[in-house]
Chain A
Amino acid sequence: MQSCRLWGVGPEIPTSWVLQKLLRTMYILYTLMLGVSAFTIQPEERTAAAGNCRFLGRHFKIDFMVEGEPVVLRCPLAWHRSLDSARPHVNMTWYKNGSARMLPGEGETRMWVQDSALWILPALQGDSGTYICTVRNASYCEEMSTELRVFEKTEAALTYISYPQILTLSTSGSLVCPELSEFVHDKTDMKVQWYKDSVLLDQGNEKFLSVRGTPRLLVQNISVEDAGYYSCVMTLTHNGTRFNVTRNVELRVKKKREETVPVIISPLQTILASLGSRLVIPCKVFLGAGTQWTTELWWMANDTAIDSAYLGGRVTEGQRQEYSENNENYIEVPLIFDTVIREDLNTDFKCVARNALSFQTLHTTVKEATTFSWEIALAPLSLVVLVLGGIWTHSRCKHRTGKAYGLTALKTGHQDFQSYASKIKEIK
C-alpha cells in the first residue's frame, strides 16, 4: 500500500509554515473524505469503502467449466489495468456475489488467489455463481463481476462448454486447446491428449497429429465428417494429486470461397451514340465459380474516377449488380451518361476489375452515330425515283399499245362509234 505520509511535508523541505499548515489541512480533509478504509484493505470483511467502488458491470464472458477440474477465474480488471499483483500499491480482492466475505475464506483449501486470478481446485457445481473482483489503491477503486457455471460432466453440457473453432474444407488446419496458459509453465513440455467422440487420437493416426509441446492438433485434408466435438486433456499435479484439465472444442467446417481471375466480357471497344442522347454502357465481368464479394469493379475516365471527373454528375456509375447464370457468377457496373456531348468522344473510358489474383482493364471509346449522311438520305430518295420512274415507264408503254389498237378499229370498221369512242377515252 502507499505510504500515508504526504510527499513534500516534512522538515527537510524548506517551505513556509503557512504552506505546510495548508497542505496538512488539505491532507486531513482528503483522508476524512475518502475514509481510512480506502487506503487499507481489511483482510476479512468487505468494508463500507467497497460501496465507494465504481462498479464497471458484468464481464461479457461466462466461464463454463466441468466439475472436478481446476478453474481459474481471471479478473477482467487485471487486463484493463495491466495489473501486477507484486506491485505493493495495488490491492485485489475477490468476493462471491451476495457475500461480504473475501475469498478464499478462512480454512478454505480449494480456493486461493494467484497472480490476480482466483483458483478453485477442484470445482464443484455449488461454486457456480457471480464473482466480483475489486481493484483498489489510494486513488481509485473499481470492481467488476464475472460469471462461473460449473456443469456435471455429461454430453448435454457440451454445447455450453465447448469452444467453436472453424476450419476450411479440403485444406489442412489445426485445432487449438484453448485457455491453458495458467496451467503451463514450461511451454515446450506441454502434453495434451486429443479425443474425438471420446476416442483417443493416437500418434499412429495419419489424419490427426497432436504436435508435442504445443496445444495444437493438426488435421489433414479436412472433410465434412471431421466436424464435431473434440476434447483435449492436460494433466496438472497439485499437492501430489493429479487433476485433468479438459477443454472441449467444436470443429465447424466451412466451404472454401473460391477466387478466380476476373474476365471483362463487355463493353465493346467502340460504342456508337448520338450527341444529346442518354447512354448506358454496362461493364460485365465473368468470374466462373469464383466468389463475387472480393472482386471490385469500377469505371474511369482518362484515368480519373468518374465522380471526380464529372463533378456535376452528368456521367455517373450505376449500381453494382451481382448475379448468377448456370452456376456461373457475374458482376455488372453500368456507366450512365445523362446526355452524350462532343467532349465524350475524345475521352478514354476504362472499366477496371480487381481482386487478390488479378487486375484487369478494358478500354472503350464513344463514337458519334452519324445522324445525317448523304448515303442514308439518298437511299429512300433513289427508291422513290426508281418507283416513279417505273410507273412512268409503265404508263408510256401502255399508251403506245392503246393507240395502235384504236387505229386498227377505225380501219376495219367492225365496231360502232360508241365503242370506238370509249376505247379512245381509255387510252387517253
Chain B
Amino acid sequence: MAKVPDLFEDLKNCYSENEEYSSEIDHLSLNQKSFYDASYDPLHEDCMDKLSLSTSETSKTSKLIFKESVVLVAANGKTLKKRRLSLNHFLTDGDLEAIANDPEEGIIKPQSVAYNFQSNVKYRFMRIINHQFILNDTLNQSIIRDISGQYLMAAALNNLDDAVKFDMGAYTSEEDSQFPVTLRISKTQLFVSAQNEDEPVLLKEMPETPKTIKDETNLLFFWERYGTKSYFRSVAHPELFIATKQGKLVHMARGQPSITDFQILDN
C-alpha cells in the first residue's frame, strides 16, 4: 500500500514542462471530471518503460484502492475505454504486461464537446431550484467574499455560517441536454458573472432576476454533475469553468491546475 504513491513520484519527471505536478490538486481522484478533460500528450518512451517497470515492481504488494468502473466516453457517446477495478484484487505481472502492450490503452485525447452558441438563443427563467447552499471545492474550502466585497475567494472555515450562501436559478432553452443556471448570493441581487480565462469572476448587481437572458450570458452557467461533484461551465465561454486556486480569487479556468469541481452543501 505504501508503495503506491512512489509510482506517482517516479512519473513526476515524465510530465511535459507545461503540465504542472501539483499535489494540491486531486490527481488521484478518479471522479474528477477535469482529469479526463485535460489533453495529455503521450508519454515519452522511457517514461512508458518506467511506468511498466514501476508497476511490475509494486504489483505483488499493492492492493487497488477503488472499486469503481472507470469509463472514458467520447463526445459522441462512444465508449473509448472501460475497466473495472475491484477492491483487494491483486494485479499480476501478466495483467500489467497486457495493459502496457495493449494498443487500446494509449492515452486518448478526448474531443471537445461541440457547443452551439448563437446569440439568438434565449434562456427563460424557470424558478429558484436551490436556496442558501454553500459551494465547497475539492480541498474542502468554502467560497467566501473577499474584503472588498467585489470578488469571491476560497477558504477553509471553522464555521460554515461564514461561507457565502447562494441561490440557484434554473433556466431553459431549446437546447435539451443543458441545464443553464444562475448563481446569486442569497438575500441580495448580486449574480456571479463569468469573465475571461484566469480573470476573477465578478459580482454583478441586477435590479431583479432576469426573466429572459439573451445577450447577458455571462450570468449563465451550464450546471454539470458527475457523481457528487458539480461543475459550472460558462455559457458565454463554454471552455471555461468557475475555479479556485490557492492564493487566487475565484476565477475562470479550463481545468488543472485550478480546481473546477465543487460540492453543493444544502442548508
Contacts and interface: CB of A to CB of B under 8 A. Distances in A.
Interface of A: 56, 59-62, 64, 76-77, 79-80, 144, 160-166, 168, 171-176, 178-179, 181, 187-188, 190, 203-204, 206, 209, 211-216, 218, 220, 254, 256, 293-294, 296, 298, 305, 308, 320, 352, 354-356, 359
14 contacts: A60-B144, A79-B153, A160-B158, A161-B158, A174-B29, A178-B139, A187-B22, A211-B28, A214-B24, A215-B139, A218-B65, A296-B127, A356-B225, A359-B177
Contacts of B225: 356
Given A211-B28, A214-B23, A305-B124, A166 B1 contact: no
A216 B126 contact: no
Given A77-B147, A209-B1, A163 B140 contact: yes
B23 A203 contact: no
A256 B228 contact: yes
Task: Report the 5 A-B pairs with minimum CB-CB distance, sorted nearest first.
Answer: A178-B156, A212-B5, A214-B23, A165-B140, A359-B176
Contacts of A160: 158
Contacts of A77: 147
A251 B24 CA distance: 20
B100 interface: no
Given A163-B140, A176-B139, A298-B126, 10 more contacts: A60-B144, A166-B263, A171-B227, A174-B138, A178-B139, A206-B63, A206-B88, A215-B139, A293-B130, A352-B172
Contacts of B22: 187
B265 A166 contact: yes
Contacts of B156: 163, 176, 178-179
B56 to A, nearest CB: 20
Nearest to A179: B156
B157 A188 contact: no
A294 B127 CA distance: 11
A293 B124 contact: no
B34 to A, nearest CB: 16
Interface of B: 1-2, 5, 8-9, 12, 21-24, 26, 28-29, 63, 65-66, 68, 87-88, 124, 126-127, 129-130, 136, 138-141, 144, 146-148, 153, 155-158, 160, 162, 170, 172, 176-177, 179, 225, 227-228, 246-247, 263, 265
B9 A61 contact: no
B147 A188 contact: no
A178 B23 contact: no
A17 B116 CA distance: 65
B234 to A, nearest CB: 18
Contacts of A320: 127
B9 A354 contact: no
A220 B65 contact: yes
Contacts of A206: 63, 87-88
Contacts, number: 117
A162 B158 contact: yes
A203 B162 contact: no
Contact of A298 (B129, B138, B172): B172
A366 B153 CA distance: 53
A412 to B, nearest CB: 97
B39 to A, nearest CB: 24
Most B C-beta atoms less than 10 A away, residue of A56, A162, A178: A178
Contact of B147 (A59, A355, A359): A59
Nearest to B6: A212
B65 A216 contact: no
Contacts of A60: 144, 162
Contact of B246 (A62, A181, A293): A181
B29 to A, nearest CB: 7
B5 to A, nearest CB: 4
Quick one: which of A59, A79, A355 has the most chain B CB within 10 A? Answer: A79
B129 A61 contact: no
B140 A203 contact: no
Most buried by A among B5, B138, B147: B147
Given A293-B129, A356-B225, A359-B176, A61 B146 contact: no
B160 A164 contact: yes
Contacts of B247: 181
Nearest to B68: A172
A173 B5 CA distance: 17
B140 A80 contact: no
B172 A296 contact: yes
Nearest to B22: A187
Contacts of A308: 124
Nearest to B2: A203
A181 B154 CA distance: 14
Contacts of A214: 23-24, 28
Contacts of B12: 188
B162 A61 contact: yes
